[in-house]
Amino acid sequence: MSDHDRARLWAAAFGPDPGEHPLRVGPGWERSWLAAVTLGGRGRYAAAATLLWPVITGTDPTGAALAAVTLAAHRRQLGGHAIARDLDALGLRRLAEAAATTGERSPATGGQDRRWGGADAAAARSDALLGLAADAIGLGELHEARTLLGIESASTDGGWRAEIKRGWVAAEVELAAGRPEAALPPARAAAAAATRSPSRRLVAKSNLVLGATLAAAGDRPGALLAINDCLRDAITHGLVPLRWPCRIVLADLEPERADEHRREAATALDCVLRHADPAGRAAAAASPWVPTSGFDLGPNR
C-alpha cells in the first residue's frame, strides 16, 4: 500500500477527523482492517464484519489478530463479552502460533511504521490482552481482568493505542470493583494519553470513561464536562456508538432532562442495532449491559 493510501485510511480510522464513509477498499489486509475500524467507529458493525472475517481467516497472523480483536471490540460494544473473549483469544493464538513457527518472540512487522495506528504484532498482542481483560470485566471476573492487565503492562510495547486502552481497562476494573476513587488516576491517564495522540475518536472514548468515573466518584461538574465533550465529538464526527452511553450517563447527571436523554439514547442505540449484523444484534438482545428492552430488532440495513 502506498503511503498516500495508508495515510488516507489511517486518518479515517485514527486521525483528527474520523469517520469518512464509504471508504474504497483495495487489496491487502491492512486496507480492510483500517476501513473496518472506521466503520465500527460509526456503528456500521455489519459492514465492518464483512471486511474483517476474510482477514481473520487469512494467512497473515498480524492481520488476522488485529482483525479478530477489532471484531471482538465491536461485539463487546454490543454487550457480547463472551463472544468477544473467543475472538480476542483467537487473535492471541494466531500471534503465538506464528511466533512458534518463526522462532521469534513476536511475528515480524514487515517494517510497518508504528504511526499507522499500530499495525504490527506488538500492538496486536496488546489489543488482544487488553480485550481479554475487558471481556473478563464484563463477565464479572475481576481477578482475571487484573491478571491480564498486568501481563500486558509488563510484557510488551503496544504503542500509543495500547497506552490509552490500558487506562480505560484499569479504570473499568476499579469501577466494577466499586472503587471509583481508585479508577480516577488511570481514567485521567487515558484521557491525557489520548490528548497527545492523533485520534479524535479515542479522545472522545477517553472522555466517556473519565466522565463515567467522575460521576461514580461524585464529581458532577467534572463528569458533565467530560461527557458533554464526548457527546459533542460523537455528534460532530458521526461516532454513533458513543452517543447512547453518553446519554445514559447524562440521564443520571441531569435528572431534570432524564426523559430527553433516554429518548436520545434510544434513538442512537436503534441506529447502531439496525446497522449491526445478526450476531451483533443477538449479543445486544441477550446482554444485561445494553438497554434493548422495547426494541424491535429487525433486519439490518
Gap between the Cα atoms of 282 and 120, Å rounded: 32
DSSP letter for 256, please.
G
Closest CA to 112 of 103, 121, 104: 121
Phi, psi of 295, deg, nearest 5? -90, 140
Over its C-alpha atoms, the chain yields an Rg (Å, rounded) of 18
Beta-carbon contacts of residue 193 (< 8 Å; ≥ 6 apart)? 160, 163, 164, 167, 206
Closest CA to 36 of 287, 285, 277, 288: 277
The pLDDT of residue 107: 41
Torsion over CA: 91, 300, 5, 201 (sign): negative
Q: Find where cell 472506521 sits.
A: 38
Q: Find where cell 488482544 sits.
A: 128
Whether residue 244 contacts residue 13, with contact meaning beta carbons closer than 8 Å, is answered with: no
Q: What is the pLDDT along the chain (301 residues), one digit of tens a residue?
A: 566 777 888 889 999 988 765 566 667 899 999 999 999 999 999 999 999 999 999 999 999 999 999 999 999 999 999 999 999 999 999 999 887 665 554 444 433 444 444 568 999 999 999 999 999 999 999 999 999 999 999 976 889 999 999 999 999 999 999 999 999 999 999 999 999 999 999 999 999 999 999 999 999 999 999 999 999 999 999 999 999 999 999 999 999 999 999 999 999 999 999 999 999 999 999 999 898 865 554 444 4
Phi, psi of 234, deg, nearest 5? -60, -40
Written as one letter, the residue type at 51 is: L
Whether residue 210 contacts residue 188, with contact meaning beta carbons closer than 8 Å, is answered with: yes
CA torsion 284→289→295→297, rounded to 10°?
A: 0
Gap between the Cα atoms of 284 and 79, Å rounded: 5
The pLDDT of residue 147: 98
The pLDDT of residue 113: 44
Phi, psi of 167, deg, nearest 5? -65, -40
Closest CA to 84 of 35, 31, 146, 127: 127
Query: What residue ranges define each of the domains in the chain, with the CATH number in brackets?
Result: 3-286 (1.25.40.10)
Torsion over CA: 284, 12, 207, 267 (sign): negative
